[in-house]
Structure 1
């Protein structure tokens, strides 16, 4: 299991909330960050997770694929942010 998804599940985040989070991430990464903040995750776990993602950005792609979402939407959102 992807470490991002595993950490969310360890903190009692439902499968539905996880899917909604990654759907938000694929559509609007800035909105997804607000959603993450509302999940009530312990700050130290959130920081460790962000460190993992910064060191290995492919974790997001893996999680999106594991959830059956379209990763090309992440790339489109990234391109919009870079404009």
Structure 2
């Protein structure tokens, strides 16, 4: 299992909420940040999660693919944020 998804499940985040989070990430990364804030994950765990993603950004792609979402949308959203 992807470590990002594992951390979310460790904090009792439902599969539906994980799917919603990554769907938001593919559509609108700023909206995903709002969803992350509503998950009730302690700040130190969020910090650990962010460090994990920063050290290995490929984990996002792995999680998106594991959930059956379209990674091309993630790339498009990232490009839009960089403008």
Query: Do both share a fold (TM > 0.5)?
Result: yes
Q: Residue in 1 aligned with 2:51?
A: 51
Q: Residue in 1 aligned with 2:14?
A: 14
Q: State the aligned residue count.
A: 83
Deviation at 1:34, TM superposition (A): 1.0
Backbone CA RMSD of aligned residues: 0.5
Distance 2:52 2:9 in 1: 17
Deviation at 1:53, TM superposition (A): 0.2
Distance 2:46 2:82 in 1: 24
Whether 2:44 is the aligned partner of 1:65: answer: no
Q: Residue in 1 aligned with 2:29?
A: 29
Q: Which runs of 4+ in 1 moved over 6 A?
A: none
Q: Deviations over 1:26-76 (max 9, x none)?
A: 011111011101111011111001001000000000000000000000000
Structure 2 gap ranges (5+): none
| TM-score, structure 1 normalization | 0.98
| TM-score, structure 2 normalization | 0.98
